[in-house]
Amino acid sequence: MTTNITPCIWLDGTAQAAADLYLSLFPNAKRTSTVHYPTDAAALGPNAHMAGQVLMEEVELDGNPFTLLNGGPQFPQTEAVCFQIMCADQAEVDHYWNGFTANGGAESQCGWCKDPFGVSWQVIPAASTS
């Protein structure tokens, strides 16, 4: 039996921008699917303002699947969950760190930072993993 686990990151209208950032940072990354809300606003009820907009982006980052969901403001990001990136050298650490913290991201401690969408990442240099 094979079980595939795909993290789903809940975002508030920024799934497409988050996908674009992640695709620009990770080598061997690709967008595998984009799903839009239906265009019939009446059928969406209280979410009528989302008609035709991106509901979900599915991406693959170095072989790891991720779903980015435009779910709304109900569940903001927290540091309780982060994604770890094991880096081979300082250049790779700098690549990810600078990419995540630019344009509204934030630095934290112990290798943690937030991207501009509030998602927490732990960028770990090789020396820390031995």
pLDDT score recorded for residue 85 = 96
Look at residue 32 in the predicted model and tell me its pLDDT: 98
pLDDT by residue (tens digit) across 68-121? 999 989 999 999 999 999 999 999 999 999 999 999 999 998 889 999 999 999
Alpha carbon distance 82, 124 (integer Å) = 12
